[in-house]
Amino acid sequence: MATQDTHAQETHATATDPVCGMQVDPAMAAGTSEYQGTTYSFCSAGCKRQFDKDPQRYLEQPPQQ
């Protein structure tokens, strides 16, 4: 039985889109940006574009859940 992976609690790493606060799977992200050594993942190209325009704005005021 080599199927132990199927139902193991695989930690599906998610990242938070700093623009809209959505949980984004980095592997499925529409775009990523690196800023000050940290890689951010975005749910859409639009969010990435907003972040790229003014990254500091989104990092200083993380969206409320």
Residues that bind Zn ion (CB under 5 A): 17, 19-20, 22, 43, 47
Min dist CB 5 to Zn ion, Å, is 30
Min dist CB 42 to Zn ion, Å, is 5
**How many angstroms separate the CA atoms of 23 and 41, rounded?**
9
Min dist CB 59 to Zn ion, Å, is 15
In order of 7, 11, 20, 31, 53, the CA distances from 17 in angstroms are 27, 18, 6, 10, 15
Question: Between 15 and 43, whose beta carbon lies closer to Zn ion?
Answer: 43
